[in-house]
Amino acid sequence: MSSWTANNLVDFWSVRLLGYALPAARRQVLVKFMAQNGNPATDVIANTDTWSANDLKKHYNQQRLRSMISLILLSPEFLSR
């Protein structure tokens, strides 16, 4: 994946774990969670896990990614597989 934006990460992991894209409403919640007030289409999420004082979109990225994957695993779509 060339651009790790919030949109791309949610789409990649939903297809990887479910085999298909999430419904729009559930996808949007996860995209907002990953973007953290950033632009979900253009802000690239770095592969870091550090504290960023005032910029939430750069704050504990690896932990946020793990949490987003867990939310997909806890979704009704995954449980009905």
* pLDDT tens by residue, 25-65: 999 999 999 999 888 888 888 887 777 777 777 777 889 99
Distance of CA 57 to the CA centre of its chain: 11
Mean pLDDT of 7-17: 96
Helix, strand, coil percent content, the chain, rounded in steps of 5: 55, 0, 40
Q: Cα–Cα distance between 5 and 20 in angstroms, integer?
A: 19
Structure tokens of 69?
């994957």
Cβ atoms of 60 and 68 within 8 Å: the answer is no
Residue 2: pLDDT band (50, 70, 90) is low
Q: State the pLDDT at residue 30.
A: 97
Distance of CA 14 to the CA centre of its chain: 9
Q: State the pLDDT at residue 5.
A: 92
